[in-house]
Amino acid sequence: MAVYTEVTDEMLEAFLDRYDLGRPVAFRGIAEGVENSNYSLRTTVGDFILTLYERRVDPIDLPWFLGLMEHLSARGLPCPLPIRDHTGSNLNPLAGRIAAITSFLPGVWPRKPGVQHCAKLGAALAQLHLAGADYAAERANSLGPATWRPLLRRCGTEADNLKTGLTADLEQTLDNIDARWPVRIPRGQIHADLFPDNVFFLDGNVSGLIDFYFAATDFYAYDVAICLNAWCFESDYTFNVTKSQALLRGYLAHRSLEEAEREALPVLCQGAAVRFLLTRLYDWLNTPRGALVTRKDPLAYWRRLRFHRSVRSEADYGI
């Protein structure tokens, strides 16, 4: 989450007139993340999140995202519920952007995820995949493998300013990924960005899954690979196989992985590492000065990538 677009008190009050949410009591920007402008909103009715959509989010996709969140919430998944206004719309203009209000979810995200966090996260991920299975509308992954090489080229030679030879290293990695990327493994609705700061815990259990604006119709096992990257590396970038085993055990308790999915995990993990390396690199080079946003180190994912390139089989992930 982040703040790129400022909302004045007058803008907010006029916006809230569309809804049955009472009057504003407290309103502040949220600096975490890099994609949209997000605000914590308290009204006389309760607590909410206000999001203004920016940058990579295509307005055409917004009904799909919000529809998926409504679908998952109706099936008991703890995700934000979009709030509809007096006309039934859950999207409205604000400060030159399209905006939505969603329900607030209690809990805190784990700054240092432990083994039990990983187990609970794995279970929640499987439940998300199962709950979304009958959401019929599809959305292509806008940051899937076909976009990675063009994104690298948009970064130009500046990638080598972060690490000498990084561009050539990534080009070679992409050649390997393209040659090995799976074609026919199970697919459905995935979150595609389920980092620790998008998962809330309360009393030891998952209380919220948030930020669905990279969700897409793609391989379930790719979503698992994203989570292995995000949850199972230590601060020195060593891979914690105990956390990986817990995450996979939690997942497998609700949804099995076919043999082809398991065999594809090493290349899927490489792809997930490259995807976040490249988007972080692009943001590192292009974040506007003065934006209330936390830039993230692209090389953190290059170090993860090095591990995945050393993996011989899915057994190295604890399966």
- pLDDT tens-digit map of 222-240: 999 999 999 999 999 999 9
Q: Which residues contact 85 (CB under 8 A, 6 or more apart)?
A: 18, 19, 92
- Predicted confidence at residue 289, as pLDDT, reads 61
Q: Report helix, strand or coil for 66.
A: helix
- Predicted confidence at residue 1, as pLDDT, reads 43
CA-CA-CA-CA torsion for 291, 103, 100, 66, nearest 10 degrees?
110
- pLDDT tens-digit map of 145-166: 999 999 999 998 889 999 999 9
Strand partners for 189: 217
The reply to whether the predicted model has a pTM over 0.95 is: no
Q: Where are the domains of the chain?
A: 9-103, 115-317
Q: Does the pLDDT at position 279 exceed 50?
A: yes
Q: Does the pLDDT at position 3 exceed 80?
A: no
Tell me which CATH homologous superfamily contains domain 9-103: Phosphorylase Kinase; domain 1 (3.30.200.20)
Element (H, E) at 229: helix 220-231
How far apart CA 129 and CA 258 sit, in angstroms, is 14
CATH class given for the domain over 115-317: alpha beta
Q: Does the pLDDT at position 58 exceed 90?
A: no
